[in-house]
Structures are given as C-alpha cells and as structure tokens.
Amino acid sequence: MRLPGMILLAATLAAQTVDRSKLPETPPLAAYKLPPTVEETLANGLLVVSVRDVRFPVVAARLGFRAGSKFDPAQRSGLSETVAALLKEGTQARTGQQVVEEMAEIGGAIDAVSGPDNLVVNGSALSENLARLLDILADVTQNAEFPEDELKLRKQNRTQELLAARAEAATLADEKLQAVLFGSHPYSRLLPTAESIAKIDRAALLDFRRRFLTPNNGILVLTGALPPQPELMKTITARFGSWAKGAAPPQPAAQFPPPRRALVLVDRPGSVQADIRAGKLSVDRTSPDYFPLIVANGILGSGTSSRMFLHIREEKGYAYDAHSTQSPRRNGGFFAATTQVRNEVVQPALEDVLGELRTLSSQPVTTNELTDVKNFMAGNFVIGLETQLGLANQLSMVKLNGLPSNYLELYVTRVRSVEPDQILRVAKKYMSPDDAAIVVVGDAAAIGKALEKFGRATVEKAR
Amino acid sequence: MKQATMRAPNLLSLFLAAATLAAAADFQIPFEKYKLANGMRVILSRDSAAPVVTVYVIYNVGARSEERGRTGFAHLFEHMMFQGSKNAPKGVHLKTVESNGGYLNGSTHPDFTDYFEVLPSNKLAVALWLEADRMRGLNITAENLANQKEAVKQERRLSVDNQPYATAIVDRWPELAFRNWSNSHSLIGSFEDLNAASVDDVSRFFRTYYAPNNAVLVMVGDVQAAEAKKLVEKYFGDIPSQPQPAHPDLTEPPVTESRHASVPDALARVPAVVIGYPGPPRRSPDYYALAMLDVIFTGGDSSRFQQNLVKGRQSVVRYEASLGWPFASGADYKNPGLYGIYLLHKPSFQGRQVAGQVQEEMARIQREGVDRKELARAKTFFRASQINQLQTSLQRAMLLGQYEILDGDPNMINTEMEQFMAVTPERIKAVAGQYLKSGVRTVMEIVLAPKKEEKK
C-alpha cells in the first residue's frame, strides 16, 4: 500500500559547482566494539555464551564440541560427519520425523556440521519457541540413537554424494593438496571414502557420541531475541544441567611432514580446464605469525585487488578465479594458492602463481598495498559480524579454539599493527615456492607435457 | 502519517511512510522512497545496530532483454560495468571498495541486473560516488570489451562447461521448458554470440538501459537520512534521463503438451532429473498458494520430498525446487513463472521413474489436499526463513530494490507475508490440480555418459 505522496518541486536548479572527479574523503574505520556478551559455565562444565539482540524475533544456537573429523579412527573416516548427519534422526523420546516436524513447528531448523576440529549443532527458531529449541538440542546431543535404517540410508546417499563431489575437479584438487601436505595426520582427509563409510556401524556412532558429546567438551552460544540472563540460564540449566561430565578426549598428536616440493598431476580425462593448487603448511590462530600471515595472504590472493587476481585474471586473462587462502586448524593450518585455467595456458599460469609466491617471499610489500589490504580485512571482518548468525559463528569459533574472549575486538587492531618486515619473514617461511606442494587436476594427455618444466610429476588417476 | 524528513533542494520527492503500515507484523523494516528529478528512484532504510551500510543499484534489464544473435550480452555487459568510468578508471572501483573495508559484486538475472557495495557505514559516500560515476558514463573500449569477452568465456568454461549438470541446466533446460525465445535462450550465451558483440552494441545497451530512470538506488544501514540524501543528489542528481526503454514480450503460448528429453552428461557421476510445470502469474492468489505448496514439498527436513522420496522410497539423493528455478527464486522473476524441480537420484532408478514418483506426490495433494497442521507447519517454517534472511543489510536492500523493480512496491517487504499466511488448504488443493499436471510438464533426464576418454 502506498500513501498519497507529497510532491515538492524545487524552484530553481542549483548553479553550484560540484566536484565529482575525486573520491570523497571519508573518516577511517572505527574500532570494533563487541555487543555485550555474557559467559557462564554450568556445574557440569558446559560453557554458555549469549548475546541479546532483539531486532528480529528469532534466536540462533551453536552447540559446539571438540569432536571433528580428526578424531575419526583411520579406518572409519567419516565417523564424525555421520554422527552429525544422524544426530536428528531419532532419540529415545522422538523419532527422526518427530524431530524435524517439531523443528518446523517452532519455525526452526537443526543441522549439525562436522569440520576438521569440531562438530557444531546449529539450531534456530522463532524466539517465542526458545525453550522448545533447547529441548530438542538437549535431546539430540544427549540421546541420539542412530537407528539402523537411517544409518543404512545415510551410507547409500553419502556414497552417491561423494561420487558427485569427486566428479568436480576442484574437490579432487583440494583433496589431493591436503593429502600431500598433512601426510598421515587426520587433517590430510578432506572427505571420507566409500570404503570407510561402509565400515561405520551403529555401535561406533553411539560410542563417538558418548565420548565426545559431553558438557565439559562443549560450548553453547546463543544470540538473538533472548530473555533476560537469569531466565535464560534457568531455561538452559533445566535442560542441560543434569548431563553427566565425560573424560576429556585425547588429541591426536600435532605432527606434520616437513615441507617438500611435490608435483602431483591428477588425471581427469576430458577436462577442458586445469585446476591448480600450490600450498604449504602454516600456523593456527594462536601463533604470533598468524596475523602477519593472513595479511600476507590478503596481499597475495584475497579479494579483487590482490596480486593474483590482478595479474592472473585481469592482466593475463588466464583464469576467472585466482585466489589464495589461509586455513587455520586448531593446531597448525595450511596455505593454498588456487586457480583454474584453460588447458592451453597451464604452464604460464603455474609459472605466474609460483612467481607471485617468490615475489612475496623476497621483496617487501609497499606501504600503500599494505594499508589497503589492512582496511579490506578489518572492514570485511566487521561486516561479517553484522548478523546474529555471523556473530554466533565467530563466538563459537573463538571459544572452540580456546582463543581469548577479546579476540574479536582485538582482531582489527592486530591486523592494523602488521609491519612489512613481518610479512616478508612469514612469507619466506610459509609461502615461498621452492618447497611448495603443487597439485594439478586435468586431462593428462592435454597438459602433461606443459607440466614437465616444473619437475617430474606423479600422475594419479582421478578417483 | 509521514515521517519527518530533511529534503535536499532540487528534488522531486515522493515520500512513503512505511513505518506505520503493517503494524501487527513480526518485524518492520522502516524505509522511505523518493524520486530524483531525473527519474531515479531512491529507497533509504536505516538500521543502526551494526556499523555497516549496503548500497544497491538495480537496473530494469536482464538476460531476457537480449536480442537474437546476442545471447549472453546482459552478462557480458555486467562485466563491462567493472571496466572503469570517467573518474574511476579500470581497477579503481574494486580497489576503492576493498581498500575502504568493503566488498562488492554484480549479477545478471533473467529480469534485472544488480550491483552492490557493502561497506563500513562511514564509507557511504565512497559507494555512492562510484555507482554514480559509472551510471554517468562507462569507458567502453575495444580493448576492455575483448578482455571481458575472454573473462566471460573463462567463466563459462569454469562454471558451465567443466561442471557436471550445468550444460544441461543452463543451455538445454530453457530451450525445452519455454517456447518464447526471450525465455528459452541460454542466459550465459554462446561463444559465437559473445564474439559477435561490438563496442557499438555495448554503448547502445548502456544508453538504453543504464539510465537513472531505469534504475533504483537502495541504501540500507547505519546512515543518517539527511546526509545520505545530500550525497545522492550531489552525485546522481544531474545524470540525464533517457527515453523509457521498451521491455520484451515474455508471454508464453498456452502449454498443451508435455515434453521430454534425455541429456547425456560426461562429467556427472550421479544421474539427475529436472521437472518443470508452468506456474501461476506472479503475486496472484495462486502464486502464494503454489509457493506454500513448494514449502510443503521441499521446505526443510519435514517436507514431503525428504520424508517420502529421500527416506520412504529412497530414490532421491538431493533436491531443490522453486518458482523461477534455476535462474531465479520464487521472489525475483517476472512472468511467466515455471515451477522447477531438480532431483539427484540413485543410479538404480531411472529419471522417468523418479519423475513419476514426484507426480504421485502431486496426485496425492490433488486427491487428499493437506491437513491444517501440515500447512501451519509450512507457514511457520516459511515465516522463520523469511525473517532470518532479513538479517543482513544486503538482503534487505536486495528485497527492497527487487520489490520496487518487479512490483513497484517496496513495502511488500513488510506486507507480503500476510498473503502467504492467508493460503488455505482448499487453495493448495486447487493449485495442485490446476498447475501440477503431468500433461503440461517438461521432464529432462540427465543421464551418465561415458568419460570422453572411454569414447575413443
């Protein structure tokens, strides 16, 4: 509906001269101020973090556990993700269908995601239904039954999904790079295999839940239109307070192979493109090298002003996508430069990728470049915290990784304080090309010759 | 009631006080709308909760405006919008947004093309300056055009030619499902047509469609209205308007037959089937009912497809569906709508069997309807997902702009929920019978083909 408008006609056109040729001056970014965040721990060790934001009548929950795929037994890779997938498929009190119908009735959704380090149960609901959301969250995490028929179906469907995922060149490239970099550590496994999925049984799922989904191994983050804190804690304690503590699960040893130059060609016949990765192991968020390293990565390949984007995509036109990432884990992490190019230019494109790594690790970055990338990273970080979900995800990440509570507030400051000499030092250490691992996925018949220049390639068949 | 607002001089203003309208709703997105003298519509919505602002410019031209021999042109043109303008030469736009802490993008849709910048809110002027500079005049050169043709081709190789399912969905599906060329041509275009695009084509397209009177500017976030309006007038106020462009006739002839095709895909490892039914007119009572029926079929884990096909029959692995699928969502297409369903299924089933199972789901609704409890659940699910998607300033800006371009009423962001909530079980049963008939459906099976190597 539109109300009758009011028309205002200006008497004269302004004769003022307006300078539109120059970018307008704007004030610098303000420091980020975290909204009031409350932390309380239940007697059984469950940490509760909450942020109240009443703009929209919804609530979001993140119930995270240090229970990611790195805890999968080697022969049963995919155990953690199967626990996550089947968590809502039935408890003693509710069938799977009841769980999802109840979630829909409260205007919510529930799903659990398993990453390399953590398993996080995500839930949301209209805020008037917070108590029912917590009922279900508490039930599935404490009592999931993993019914046999659901497990059987999940295994069948997951096998098909894995086939579909590995039909994509990018999956094959990412998978191979992580395998080369992390060696025998569980971080080497991006995805489970059909064989390892086949070995998973109900007993293993129940055992995983009992050992890893415990209150003292968990963190509950709540954001949104929450009730006042005392009422909130009462509601939470009623549902999670009687949950028995567990023994702290042992961490896999953080032992990784030393960096070495490897060149792997994954043969994907019929590919009209080559997917290129160059990567090395790096560090986690607690390392003093972390902030210099993410700023170095920003200069190299994050965003459309980065060196890789400008040189490989814009100047040379080799690729639509050229970027780099730092992927921190709880322990360690890895760096990867990524691009997909048409077959004919695979050699010059890979030369350029390695050339960018060499430049970054041998020449200091310019002040302008550094200032711009710091603003880019700081501004986008703050934008990411705009929503309740964005904030919930970040708070959950901070707590699960054992980072200090002021990590989010200090992020902007720490990015801004990185100096060119720190960048040069960390780039030399973690991003120099000589001992980088190189993975190329493509049609070996079409691109094999072009790769000879980079050394002897190990050729593997795409799975 | 009108909001008290500051008015910059030289404005032809139409004020809309939305804040007092839909009073009982769950949420209220406040905004005001006005028009500059050159015809550009401006929508301003303030939210001071986070120090962020989105600037969104939406133009009333999309891939369905393309002419024969120029498929893919709207998308190619969108790339040209990042190739520099008078005061922000090539590279400056992206660099300026990023070095001021923001991000940006543009995208081409069947019925509109849009551009946005999300920035820390004290950088509003930066985004307005950039958007105005390129609306005022683009650097259209042979070199830029040649370069972007390559970029688009590379994008096509990456996201279509080298992807399983994509060629079938992007190139074949529209041909099969639509009869009117404006709707049925490939929206990403052929290499041949991309090569044929000339500098003149680009200039003409720019003049015709990228005029202020064919655009809507939306600002959402932590900004002061008076200050924002001054900046808008300063940067956009004297960009000349152009004759109002004609828009293509998208009318489809009545569908009287079903169609079927089987498309081999050498990159796919899991077979798929796509099913389409001609849909009701946008924003009609039938449209709201079919949208709610879609939630019943595919919304969330308690949906019928999940419970009956993925679980019950165990034939389907994954699915997606919506009015407007695959290039638009239920909310952002112009007529004619198509209710599209895409299902990955187990190789032990044939695509046509799965299509048959889907048809049985439709027949069940036609026969039995839905009970009130299931419909109530679907409505709650829908309401919550709509509220959740309003959380980012970017989403709110997109919705406000798209409602304005497609429906002429941005306040639908606040009021449209009522139409969805008013859908009755009787109406659901009726639309299932009227639209979801096997006699008018299009079915495309995507079947596994041998890898290229094995064909030799």
Q: Is there a contact between B301 and A6 if contact means CB atoms under 8 Å apart? A: no
Q: Is there a contact between A271 and B162 if contact means CB atoms under 8 Å apart? A: yes
Triad A156, A157, A159: Cα angle to 5°? 70
Bridge-partner residues for B217, per DSSP? B42, B57
A81 and A223 in one domain? yes
Share of chain B above pLDDT 70, in %: 93
Q: Is there a contact between A166 and B269 if contact means CB atoms under 8 Å apart? A: yes
The reported pLDDT for the residue numbered A32 is: 84
The reported pLDDT for the residue numbered B451 is: 63
- pLDDT tops 70 at residue B21: no
* pTM score, whole prediction: 0.84
Which chain B residues are Cβ-neighbours of A8 within 8 angstroms? 7, 11-13
Which chain A residues are Cβ-neighbours of B372 within 8 angstroms? none
A232 and A274 in one domain? no
- Residues B129-148 have pLDDT tens digits of 999 999 999 999 999 999 89
Q: Does residue A99 sit within a domain?
A: yes
Query: What range defines the domain where residue A164 resides?
Result: 37-240
A313 and A169 in one domain? no
Q: Is there a contact between B377 and A161 if contact means CB atoms under 8 Å apart? A: no
Rounded-to-integer distance, Cα A170 and Cα A318, Å: 17
**Interval B70-74 mean pLDDT:** 91
Q: Does residue A128 sit within a domain?
A: yes
Q: Is there a contact between B318 and A105 if contact means CB atoms under 8 Å apart? A: no
Q: Does residue A405 sit within a domain?
A: yes
| The domain defined by B259-455 carries CATH number 3.50.30.40 | no
The alpha carbon of residue A164 is apart from the nearest alpha carbon of chain B, in Å, by 5
- pLDDT tops 50 at residue A3: no
Inter-chain Cβ pairs, chain A and chain B, closer than 8 A:
254
B46 touches B165 (CB < 8 A): no
Closest to B158 (Cβ–Cβ): which among A5, A107, A340? A340
- pLDDT tops 80 at residue A16: no
Question: Best residue in B188, B380, B386, B393 to probe A by mutation, most A CBs within 10 Å?
Answer: B380
Q: How many residues does chain A have?
A: 463
A211 and A130 in one domain? yes
Closest to B301 (Cβ–Cβ): which among A22, A100, A375? A100
A311 and A204 in one domain? no
Which of A240, A273, A291 finishes a domain?
A: A240
Triad B302, B306, B307: Cα angle to 5°? 70
A215 and A100 in one domain? yes
The alpha carbon of residue A43 is apart from the nearest alpha carbon of chain B, in Å, by 33
**Interval A176-189 mean pLDDT:** 96
Q: Does residue A168 sit within a domain?
A: yes
A421 and A288 in one domain? yes
- Residues B192-208 have pLDDT tens digits of 998 999 999 999 999 99
Average pLDDT of chain B is 90
A273 and A140 in one domain? no
Closest to B302 (Cβ–Cβ): which among A53, A97, A124? A97
Q: Does residue A7 sit within a domain?
A: no
- Residues A65-115 have pLDDT tens digits of 999 999 999 889 999 999 999 999 999 999 999 999 999 999 999 999 999
Helix (H, G, I), strand (E, B) or coil at A39: strand
Q: Does residue A451 sit within a domain?
A: yes
Q: Is there a contact between B162 and A24 if contact means CB atoms under 8 Å apart? A: no
- pLDDT tops 70 at residue B299: yes
Q: Does residue A19 sit within a domain?
A: no
**What's the number of domains chain A is made of?**
2
- Residues B406-439 have pLDDT tens digits of 999 999 999 999 999 999 999 999 999 999 999 9
The reported pLDDT for the residue numbered B428 is: 97
Domain at B32-236: CATH architecture: 2-Layer Sandwich (3.30)
Kindly report the number of other CB atoms within 10 A of residue B121's CB atom.
Answer: 21
**Interval A370-399 mean pLDDT:** 93
Q: Does residue A30 sit within a domain?
A: no
A212 and A352 in one domain? no
Any idea what the CATH number is for the domain that residue A397 is in?
Answer: 3.30.830.10
B174 touches B185 (CB < 8 A): yes
**Interval A439-449 mean pLDDT:** 96
The reported pLDDT for the residue numbered A43 is: 97
Q: Is there a contact between B161 and A18 if contact means CB atoms under 8 Å apart? A: no
In A, minimum Cα distance to B382 occurs at A107
The reported pLDDT for the residue numbered B452 is: 53
A323 and A204 in one domain? no
**Interval A49-77 mean pLDDT:** 94
Same fold, B32-236 and B259-455: yes
In B, minimum Cα distance to A157 occurs at B317
The reported pLDDT for the residue numbered A248 is: 83
- pLDDT tops 90 at residue B14: no
Question: The complex's ipTM?
Answer: 0.78
Parse chain B into domains and list their residue ranges: 32-236, 259-455
- Residues A331-350 have pLDDT tens digits of 999 999 999 999 999 999 99
The conformational region for residue A391 under phi > 0 = left, psi -120 to 50 = alpha, else beta, is alpha
Closest to A379 (Cβ–Cβ): which among B7, B49, B100? B100
Closest to B94 (Cβ–Cβ): which among A23, A32, A304? A304
A272 and A375 in one domain? yes
Q: Which phi and psi angles does A58 have, rounded to 5°?
A: -135, 160
Most confident of A315-319, B264-268, B361-365: B361-365
Q: Is there a contact between B388 and A389 if contact means CB atoms under 8 Å apart? A: yes
A224 and A323 in one domain? no
**Interval A286-309 mean pLDDT:** 95
More confident call, B336 vs A183: A183
Q: Is there a contact between B302 and A10 if contact means CB atoms under 8 Å apart? A: no
Share of chain A above pLDDT 90, in %: 84
- pLDDT tops 70 at residue A314: yes
